[in-house]
Amino acid sequence: MELSWGNLEDAVRGCRRCKLCHGRMNTVLGEGNREAAILCIGEGPGQQEDLQGRPFVGPAGQLLDKMLGAIALTREDVYIANVVKCRPPMNRSPEPDEVESCLPFLRAQLRLIRPKILFCLGATAGRAVIGREFRVTRDRGKWVERKGFHMLGSFHPSALLRDQSGAWKRLAWEDLQSLRAKYDELKGEGP
């Protein structure tokens, strides 16, 4: 199949590769700047995302907007996608077979967008993209470079919404500043 946004959109919309297709209202491919240097990767659609067919439009999305705003970026500056494109029931984490079935779509997005930076939000994205052993509290904030991609894992905005002590928010702020610094550093390097 020729790689194009149109083909990818059709393939995701009609996908029945895993059991998540049975419960979905809409698939959520992703949205944003298709030429972005930064690809933000979440876990999977929640209720609002499933209803609207758009990523990060619920409470976690509002926080993601604020996080991007804190480093002078908007949704239009980045592309936002998820590891799985259909909502897992009751917002559970996607299961390994669901992640495996869906990863070809994220890989296709990587080939189309060719971002410089992959910003992985939470453990599911970190494990799917950075490495199977990724753990947020241990590995967040550490840059990993592979195949020309600069990858950074941090907390998922939903986890930050639950963070009572504020300790994770402080660490997430460090990660965001590191993201901004890398973005500025790589901006000068051309496509």
Q: Which residues lie near ligand URA (CB under 6 A)?
A: 42-46, 49, 55-56, 58, 60-61, 82, 158
In angstroms, how far is CA 68 from the centroid of its own chain? 13
Chain position whose Cβ is nearest to ligand URA = 42
If you search the block for the tokens 């052993």, which residue do you land on?
133
Q: Closer to ligand URA at the Cβ: 82 or 101?
A: 82
Nearest distance in Å: CB 130, ligand URA: 16
Residue number with CB closer to ligand URA (147 or 175)? 175
- Give the whole-angstrom CA distance, residue 88 versus residue 76: 27
Long-range CB contacts for residues 95-103, cutoff 8 Å, separation at least 24: 97/18, 98/18, 98/19, 98/20, 99/124, 99/128, 101/17, 101/18, 102/15, 102/17, 102/18, 102/20, 103/128
Q: How far is the CB of 46 from ligand URA (least distance, A)?
A: 4
Considering the complex, state which of residue 37 and residue 86 has its C-beta at the smaller distance from ligand URA: 86
Phi, psi of 133 (to 5 degrees): -90, 0
Q: How far is the CB of 45 from ligand URA (least distance, A)?
A: 5
| Smaller CB separation from ligand URA, 77 or 186 | 77
